[in-house]
Amino acid sequence: MTTVTIQVDGEALEAEEGSNLLMVLLDAGHVVPHPCFHPDLSAPASCRMCLALEQGLGGKRLITTCNRIVVPGQRLRLQDPQVESARGGLVDDVLLRHPPQCSVCERTGECELQEVISEQGDDTTRATLAHSGERVELGPRLVLDRQRCILCTRCVRFEAEISGSHGLTVSGSGADAVIDTCAGTSEQQHPLRHELSGNLLDLCPAGALVEPGEQFRPPAWQMTGVSSVCPGCASGCATRTDMAAGKVQRVKPRGDGEDTQGYWLCDTGRYGWQAEIKRLQAPELLGQVVQWDVVLAEVAERMEQARNAAVLLSPYQSNEEIFLLANLALRWKADLFFWEAQDPDGDLSFPSGFTISGQRGPNHAGLAAVTAALQLPLGDEAHLAALLRDKKLDALYAVGGSQHGEGPQLRTSAGLFLAVQDLTQPGWAADASVVMPCGSCWTEKDGTFIDRHQRLQRVRAAIQPPAEARADFWILAALWHGGPNRDSPDQAFSRLARSSAEGPFAGVDYGILEHQSSPARSVAYGGGWSSHLQRRGLIAVEDHAKRQ
Amino acid sequence: MLCLPGIAEMDERRILFEGIDIPDIDRAPTYADHGGFEGLRRAQSMSPLALTDAVAATGLRGRGGAWRLVADRWRQAQAHGETDYLIVDLLESDPGRFRDRKLAERQPHRLLEGARIAARAVGAATVYTCIDSAAVRARQSLLQAIEETRDESVAIHVHPVAGPFPLAAGDSLVVELIESGRAEPRAQDHAYGEAPQLPRLFDKQAVVHTASTLGYLPSLLATAGEVFQSASSSWAPGTQAFCVSGLVRRPGLYEVELGDGTVRDLVEGLAGGARTERAIKFVLHAGYGSFPALLEQDLDRPLDPGLWADPAAGEVSGSFGGGSVLVADDSVCAVHTAQRIARSFADSSCGKCLPCREGTNWLAAALGRLEQGEAEASDLDWIIERCATLTPDLSLCGHGSSAAAGIGALCGAFADEFANHLDGGCSVIKDLSMKVPDSIHVRY
């Protein structure tokens, strides 16, 4: 690719030859509405709004920029009366049958169409046609409101090109055209039952595809987005946890960096935090609820006294937690073991290349990397099971952390001191001596993960663990320092980076990671409403945990 | 024996429909007895490049309405590598046009011979004949002709598709119809000043021709271009078969030499002019998307697309069109016609691009209100503005802009009549003696 210069509104703009013209304009900060275009989908050029006036040797003409490429010497005008009047006509057209009641729409504040209308419209409409169209249930969590649909066909193209399920199509022609399902809708058999269906909510530029009950959620401008990484599997998709009223409202793909799987997130990643499980509420010692200091003192004492101690690391722990726990294992002279959450069906791949990893543990690679950096041997679960079977251990510190039932399959026997740190009471550890309720890695963990592509990314907590449960880092730091302390994942990571001469942590600090995963890049849904608000600072996407 | 209704002898010159009256001309032996297949034999003795040069020398242009040089298209295909498909466009979506299906019905061998010649020139091994499924007789005739002349070198398929189809949608429409069955044209992405790219069918290059264009090739090859040599038009030599319909005495199909005569000769001479005690009110020379609407005094425009397409070449400009000529007399209300045109465009819009889907539908509704006398002044302003701003670059294919052009032309030519409809409706005294007094649209 060679870099060439094109002229936009008389100003020179450097761009790669052959790259998508609309993306070049958006990246340069120009406001170009594009309700039908999406960076990851093919461009049908059907909404016609991404207009520019191309000046050639033979004269001027309007072009759609979404289906054009950059060629050297191109001369474009975006601020031009001809462009504005043509676009004004299109805004009028789109409003002919789209209901204008933005204030009662669940997408208000983050709707691309709303942004287009507010920026390009002229407050007049020739709308005289009656609105028509019904609400159709497309999937368990997806409703299509045909009254709002502007037939951009992003959803149809997503189904064909990304999920590969071909679940949606356009039926009818002309003004009677509607988005329809290929299978037909019925309550028993939802046509959209694949793992990527939630992305259709983010795709829709007009609020036509919504979740049932979404109208009861706070509006976009009341939400604070906390950027994080999905802990659903080892793929490491970048997410944004949207908060309002002190609660997690939803999880969305962040779609702002190269380190993500495009703009998508699977339904496990999107809805996984909602899993209804019976969380542990308070630390327990021999079945009795006690204070944290009692539990921690007991664990420290018993682990240090044990002659044959072992520590079981979890792929749901962050690198910083693994670092602390490995150091504790050194102090306790305990052997290190790990368990893994491997899906027997292996990876699940989609035509677009989007992959849900068969390795469910989000930090499986980090687990190996931290122990390698500390040059500590690591035994697997089978090895630990053999030691337990032969009763060669007298103390075990085991960490779980999965919200969806994954965990080690071990059998313990009497006489073993078993300390368990988990979200729920694990089945295998019913007779644990000590149970410590920890934080969920979906919304309550602060630190870093390494995904299966060896990318080191920042995970951020959005809320505190419930009741007496404590974040994993807090528990381990309290054990390490023997009491209350001011240690943070930031400092633990610095120590980890200092102790490794090479590998993923060498020469890295949180400052670099913050910069890498800093969200609100302009390409997230083009210059859509939400990213505009982010740029203006109205939706702050910041390190929520740090502020706390 | 089989004579088209209304074919008159005066001033007609038949190349495309030569021999259409011969009994059994749709059978291969009869066609061969009357000089058929000679053009194909000659083409097969030439190399594709020599064949292209021979057609280039005749100056043959496509008859679908865009009037592009056929040889240019072939050279474009040859320059871009292998061409796998030749597609014959037999959709004839313009209301009032029935020429191509008449050709397929009566002269299927001429059409297939032309297709084989074109396939040889571009190196295509497969020919798709994309035909409106409503044209049942044309399809049967083609299938029979394919059966009669089956050979190994070129596979010819008849692909019936269900309408309605967008008008002036370009080559990608038939490709999309064959691939997906939906009548949705694809967006053009060629750079400024370049010819539209060749469409791709099943990811292979395809060349699309209107059926009538191919129908000229056998005669051109067989006579080495002689049939075009006496041409009156240097820009578009040859003939054009016009489908004249509406309120004239002799509606029908008239093949006349381009550059020889005027619209008046066609409408008032061959087609017989308006009925007794009626006068021609306007002529839509390029079908529903015509601009301008020709009034009585405009009928002396020459029948030469070169003089229409290029304002520099002459004083007249406008759309010459693809041969569908609709005539309205003074019993026709212009607003009603505009409303019918808008409704037709709205019904045949594919719904893919926003301005066409919403714009044509709204225009039909607004013109309906205007015709009923229920419109407000702002409605008429909106109509005029939308017709002016819906330019060819704005809609994805030519359908939306054709609608705007056609309706805008009527709004412009009959501004008073449109304005009168705001206060109390229509002043035109409709002639109730006709079976379809308010129709200028005769479907084949």
Domain boundaries, chain A: 3-79, 128-275+522-535, 284-516
Higher pLDDT, B65 or B444: B65
Q: Which CATH class is domain A128-275+522-535?
A: alpha beta
**Residue in chain A nearest B183 by alpha carbon:** A173
**What is the pLDDT, as a whole number, of residue A496?**
94
Judged by average pLDDT, the poorest of A238-242, A485-489, B165-169, B198-202 is A238-242
pLDDT at B444 over 80: no
Tens of pLDDT, residue by residue over B103-112, are 999 999 999 9
The pLDDT-based confidence of B193 (bands split at 50, 70, 90) is low
Distance from CA of A174 to the nearest CA of B (A): 4
Tens of pLDDT, residue by residue over A326-385, are 999 999 999 999 999 999 999 999 988 899 999 999 999 999 999 999 999 999 999 999
Say if the Cβ atoms of B354 and A49 lie within 8 Å: yes
- ipTM of the complex, rounded to two decimals: 0.87
Say if the Cβ atoms of A150 and B347 lie within 8 Å: no
Best of B173, B382, B393, B397 to substitute, by most chain A Cβ atoms within 10 angstroms, is B393
Say if the Cβ atoms of B357 and A174 lie within 8 Å: yes
Return phi, psi of residue B310, to 5°. -115, 105
Q: Does B25 touch chain A (CB under 8 A)?
A: no
pLDDT at A7 over 80: yes
**What is the pLDDT, as a whole number, of residue B439?**
37
Residue whose tokens read 């789209």: A98
Q: Does B191 touch chain A (CB under 8 A)?
A: yes
**What is the pLDDT, as a whole number, of residue B308?**
80
**What is the pLDDT, as a whole number, of residue B75?**
94
Judged by average pLDDT, the poorest of A259-263, A357-361, A407-411 is A259-263
Distance from CA of A85 to the nearest CA of B (A): 8
Distance from CA of B353 to the nearest CA of A (A): 4
Buried b (16+ CB within 10 A) or exposed e, B246-279: bbbeebbbbbbbbbbbbbbbbbbbbbbbbbeebe
**What is the pLDDT, as a whole number, of residue B44?**
94
Residue whose tokens read 């001429």: B110
At residue A386's C-alpha, the angle toward residues A383 and A387, to 5°, is: 90
Tens of pLDDT, residue by residue over B225-274, are 888 887 778 888 999 999 998 888 888 899 999 988 899 999 998 888 88
Looking at the domain that runs over A284-516, which CATH code has it been given? Answer: 3.40.50.740
Residue whose tokens read 């009047």: A85
The pLDDT-based confidence of A515 (bands split at 50, 70, 90) is low
Say if the Cβ atoms of A151 and B366 lie within 8 Å: no
Question: In this structure, what token pair is assigned to residue A77?
Answer: 């005008």
**Residue in chain A nearest B394 by alpha carbon:** A48
DSSP SS3 for A377: coil
The alpha carbon of B111 is separated from its chain's Cα centroid by a whole number of angstroms, namely 16
Higher pLDDT, A276 or B441: A276
**What is the pLDDT, as a whole number, of residue B423?**
82
**What is the pLDDT, as a whole number, of residue A190?**
61
* Assigned fold of A3-79: Ubiquitin-like (UB roll) (3.10.20)
- Strands A75-77 and A3-8, by their bridges, are parallel
Q: In which region does residue B273 sit, left (phi positive, over 0), alpha (psi from -120 to 50) or beta (all else)? A: left
Return phi, psi of residue B431, to 5°. -85, 115
Say if the Cβ atoms of A45 and B189 lie within 8 Å: yes
Q: Which residues of A touch B (CB under 8 A)?
A: 43-49, 51, 54, 56-58, 61-64, 67-69, 71, 85-86, 89-90, 93-94, 96-97, 126, 128-129, 150-151, 153, 170, 172-177
Judged by average pLDDT, the poorest of A178-182, A338-342, A445-449, B339-343 is A178-182
Distance from CA of A386 to the nearest CA of B (A): 59
Judged by average pLDDT, the poorest of A114-128, A405-419, A430-444, A531-545 is A531-545
- As a whole number, the mean pLDDT across chain B is 87
**Residue in chain A nearest B193 by alpha carbon:** A58
**What is the pLDDT, as a whole number, of residue A275?**
82
Contacts of B385 in chain A (CB under 8 A): 89
Say if the Cβ atoms of A48 and B390 lie within 8 Å: no
Whole-number Å distance between alpha carbons of B384 and B386: 6
Cis geometry, peptide bond prior to residue A489 (ω within 30 degrees of 0): no
Best of A82, A90, A116, A173 to substitute, by most chain B Cβ atoms within 10 angstroms, is A173
Half-sphere exposure of B339 (CA within 13 A, CB side): 21
pLDDT at A55 over 80: yes
Question: In this structure, what token pair is assigned to residue B127?
Answer: 């020919």
Domains of chain B: 28-226 (3.40.50.11540), 230-329 (3.10.20.600), 334-420 (1.20.1440.230)
Whole-number Å distance between alpha carbons of B255 and B253: 7
Query: Which of A122-131, A403-412, B340-349 has the highest mean predicted lDDT (pLDDT)?
Result: B340-349
**What is the pLDDT, as a whole number, of residue B206?**
95
pLDDT at A476 over 70: yes
Q: Does B361 touch chain A (CB under 8 A)?
A: yes
Q: Determine the angle formed by the axes of helices A489-499 and A364-373, rounding to 10 degrees.
A: 50
Higher pLDDT, A127 or A209: A209
B346 closest CB neighbour out of A43, A86, A175? A175
The string of DSSP letters for A301-335 reads HHHHH-SSEEEEE-TTS-HHHHHHHHHHHHHHTPE
The alpha carbon of A206 is separated from its chain's Cα centroid by a whole number of angstroms, namely 22
Q: Does B347 touch chain A (CB under 8 A)?
A: yes
Q: Does B349 touch chain A (CB under 8 A)?
A: yes
**What is the pLDDT, as a whole number, of residue B191?**
65
Residue whose tokens read 């295909």: B77
Distance from CA of B241 to the nearest CA of A (A): 31
